[in-house]
């Protein structure tokens, strides 16, 4: 809370809740947004172990059975779906960044 822009907002006489929500929270949430985007990749990757361990039918279980049966086209399709989900999650994080941080602009 000792940044110049926050001290300037205090000097302007803005209420504390406006300073915290508009100025401080926007910059504090940037690393959290990045972490959530990266964690989505781990969630998709962790589904393989959970689905195999508990025998849940899903992409992870199907991928594991495709690996056991050497079904290469099915493995490629599942890897494509997982990759697209991770890329989409990272793209959504980039779009959210443009709303949170005014310095970031999409071209």
* Local confidence pLDDT in tens for the 107 residues of the chain: 777 888 888 899 889 888 888 878 888 888 898 898 889 878 887 888 888 888 888 888 899 899 999 999 999 999 999 899 889 988 999 899 888 887 888 77
Distance between first and last Cα of the chain: 32
Domain ranges of the chain: 30-100
What the block records as the tokens of 30 is 């940037």
3-state SS assignment for residue 22 = helix
Q: What angle do CA 89, 38, 33 make, to 5 degrees?
A: 80
Q: CA–CA separation, 66 vs 79, rounded Å?
A: 11
């Amino acid at each position: 809370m000792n940044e110049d822009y926050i001290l300037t907002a205090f000097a302007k006489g803005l209420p504390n809740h406006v300073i915290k929500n508009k100025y401080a929270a926007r910059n504090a949430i940037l690393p959290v947004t990045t972490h959530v985007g990266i964690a989505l990749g781990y969630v998709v990757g962790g589904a393989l172990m959970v689905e195999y361990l508990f025998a849940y039918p899903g992409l992870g279980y199907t991928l594991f059975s495709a690996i056991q049966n050497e079904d290469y086209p099915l493995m490629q399709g599942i890897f494509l779906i997982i990759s697209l989900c991770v890329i989409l999650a990272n793209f959504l994080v980039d779009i959210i960044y443009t709303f949170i941080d005014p310095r970031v602009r999409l071209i």
